[in-house]
Amino acid sequence: MSTSKVLEEAKSISEKISIFNQTDENPYDKISKKILDKSIKHIVTIARGTSDCAALYASYLIAKALGLTTYSLPPSIITLENSNFDFSNTLVLVISQSGLSEDLIQCEKASRIMGAETLILTNNLNSPMIKNANYFFNINAGKEVSVAATKSFILSLLNIIKLVAIIKNDKEILYNILQLPEHLNKELNNPWDAELIDKNISTGFIISRGLGYALSTEISLKFKELCQEQIEPFSSAEVMHGPRSLIQNSFKLFTLSLNDSSGESVKKETDKLMKITNKVYEIESKSKNKSNLSFNTLNSPELDSIIIMSKFYPWIIKYSTFKNLDPDKPRYLTKVTNTF
């Protein structure tokens, strides 16, 4: 594992956040002004893969915290269906770690033609979208060479969390962002144990709600990408409508509970599901389960999201190795994917 590039990148997250805190020059105030004076009334997100998980997180957080209508637009609505929209008073947020996906480049251009202002959030300072978009946010994760994105996802969340905190003038979150590196370093000294998880079961759910659900989509993606396991993301509310019929002891069930109203709802459903299966793994700050995946909270669901993912990535990489897979070489995958 010492030679794993993706593990090295995952373990560098606290350092990258520290660098971000020192060097960040993204134009949050320009976006903030547009939203506060109601020049921007709607947010549309466009992304693929891990970046789409970050886009889902952004959509939920912006709607919840700022009261703006948000929508995650499938790129194919533009690239394949050639649909047209009235994007006046709309900010289209394009998230792309590589900044090179052809379908996203086409979507950014089309969005401007349809009247939107565009914001590109990318880790690539040479992305062709930067020179054309109205605004550019640097993910600022440093070069990421691994196929499996880790630090770029977390720094994408941090950009979004900081933007919302600036718009809301949430000084507590802005202060705690500066404390994050120290907190994460302490968390790395208490890693989750990959060998607690049953590696002989390759199907299951990861359930959550709210911001936690957006995280669960990325967790699910990494199980597929790195571990060849079909751990599907579900809202805990939706699971109770039908999919729970699949749950049994030959089925893994992960639950993710943030310390907010959505998390409290997940905990209630978890108690019910524990009566169905003994293969439950809880991601929460105070787990009752022996196979817990716990974290020390900063009493903010936004910042706790970063803590959880910072602990999750090294864990899932070690679990991949525990299964005799190579996390540096996910089967069939490449860094930039063409989805036209």
Amino acid at 328: D
Instruction: Kindly report which listed range (35-44, 137-146, 242-251) carries the lowest average pLDDT score.
Output: 242-251
Bridge partner list, 192: none
Beta carbons within 8 Å of 275's beta carbon, 6+ residues apart: none
pLDDT tens-digit profile of 134-193? 999 999 999 988 988 999 999 999 999 999 999 999 999 999 999 999 999 999 999 999
Average pLDDT over the chain reads 92
Q: Is the pLDDT of residue 245 over 70?
A: no
d(CA 20, CA 306): 14
d(CA 217, CA 208): 10
d(CA 310, CA 10): 7
Beta carbons within 8 Å of 81's beta carbon, 6+ residues apart: none
Instruction: Kindly report which listed range (139-143, 207-211, 248-252, 253-257) carries the lowest average pLDDT score.
Output: 248-252
d(CA 128, CA 136): 11
- For the chain, domains (ranges, CATH) are 5-179 (3.40.50.10490), 194-322 (3.40.50.10490)
List the 42-47 sheet strands across, edge first.
Answer: 69-72, 42-47, 90-96, 117-122, 135-138
CA angle 296, 301, 303 (to 5 degrees): 65
Cβ neighbours, 10 Å, residue 27: 14
The whole-number pLDDT of residue 1 equals: 45
| CB 27 within 8 Å of CB 162 | no
pLDDT tens-digit profile of 193-227? 999 888 999 999 999 999 999 999 999 999 999 99
Higher-confidence residue of 134 and 252: namely 134
The whole-number pLDDT of residue 48 equals: 93
pLDDT tens-digit profile of 72-98? 999 999 999 999 999 999 999 999 999
d(CA 267, CA 261): 10
Q: What's the predicted TM-score (pTM) here?
A: 0.94
